[in-house]
Amino acid sequence: MATKQLAVGIDIGGTNTIFGLVDRDGNILAEDRLITTHYDEPGIFVATLYEKIKIAGQKIGASAELMGFGIGAPMGNINKGTIEYAAGLPWKGIVPLADLFHKFTDLPVLVTNDANAAAVGEMIYGGAQGMKNFVVITLGTGLGSGFVIDGKLVYGHDGFAGEIGHTAIKPGQSNRDCGCGKKGCLETYVSATGLKRTLLKIMADSIQPSELRKYSFDELDAEMIYDAAKRGDNLALRAFQHTGRMLGFKLADVVAYTNPEAIFLFGGLALAKDLIFEPAKEYMEENLLSIYKGKVKLLESELSTQNAAVMGASSLIWSHYLYQPKINTRQDGKLQ
């Protein structure tokens, strides 16, 4: 039987850590999870995680050859293999994640943030296959971005390139506080939380009726606003319109910086489809330099939302072998 090469994709989140063993075509052959918050000590976390991966690998059988560990984590630094000052995780300061893994394995261990992992995932398994220049915007509770230029993900000098979620939407003109400590960041408008904040602002300024007026800020979520918009609730529609416009305005800048073939939207808000895509497209086009007009595709991610984090993380390994085939690899690929 032919040996099947598998990459381990690990998504470290504030609550759960999920991993999967993924083949080159994006099929997840085994998966499991552990509760991130149960581990105060990162060394014990990695040892437990490694043990679980080993067990999952054994279930697949001797025909599986592991190629490496790709990890998506907040504040993941590809250059150093570290997680640095991630507010949402139980570990303080700088966590030497790759070094902790290398106590158990000589295989490549690659760490980056989830938006970068999503961008590589789109390139390896998704709608960006064959594209050399594109951008992925992840729209969850925050806004992340990953840039691929000339076929390679842009990591930057310190490994933290592509934080457009924390660039200002109207420099000096918005007082909306961001979790990063700045004001008026794109993420405070274009994210599930941003949509909610915008809706409440619109409700405060308007006297029009809305089915959402009876809910408090804490009770509301993006899905409720989506459902109301679908039923024709005018204020919910205006909240989506505003969110899409803010995004489109920023995407026009993104195009000027990187001249992408396509921009992919991924995550919760992207599932609102036309409610987000139409205003984003319209406002992007309106603000593009004429040399770019009508040329940039605004597309839905082709990674399934459910597995995207694990798939994106695993794709780091395939991408690594494409570009650095001789670095940091073992011949036998066996778990030690």
Binding site for Zn ion (CB under 5 A): 166, 178, 180, 182, 185
Nearer to Zn ion, 152 or 166 (CB): 166
The SS3 call for residue 324 is coil
Cα atoms in the Cβ-side hemisphere of radius 13 Å centred on 182: 16
Residue 85 DSSP symbol: S
Q: How far is the CB of 271 from Zn ion (least distance, A)?
A: 23
Spatial contact of 320 and 287, defined as CB atoms under 8 Å apart: no
Q: Exposure of 226 by Cβ count < 10 A (0-12 exposed, 13-18 middle, 19+ buried)?
A: buried
In the complex with Zn ion, which residue's Cβ is closer, 246 or 316?
Answer: 246
Least distance in angstroms from the C-beta of 94 to Zn ion:
21
Shortest Å, Cβ 269 to Zn ion: 17
CA end-to-end distance (rounded Å), the chain: 22
Closest separation between CB of residue 39 and Zn ion, Å? 28
Q: How far apart are CA 27 and CA 9, in angstroms?
A: 11
**Residue placing its CB nearer to Zn ion in the complex, 116 or 188:** 188
Nearest to 90 by CA among 31, 55, 160, 41: 41
Q: Which is nearer to Zn ion, 83 or 169 (CB)?
A: 169
- 47/180 with CB nearer Zn ion: 180
**In the beta sheet, which residues pair with residue 168?**
185
Closest distance to Zn ion from the beta carbon of 158 (Å) = 17
Q: In the complex with Zn ion, which residue's Cβ is closer, 54 or 166?
A: 166
Are the CB atoms for 303 and 266 separated by under 8 Å?
yes
Tell whether the torsion through CA atoms of 124, 127, 131 and 134 is positive or negative.
negative
Place of tokens 């000339």: 150
User: Got the DSSP string for 142-202?
Assistant: SEEEEEEETTEE---SSS----GGGSBSSTTT---B-TTS-BSBGGGTSSHHHHHHHHHHH
CB of 187 to Zn ion, least distance (A): 6
Which of 181/294 has CB closer to Zn ion? Answer: 181
Q: How far is the CB of 95 from Zn ion (least distance, A)?
A: 22
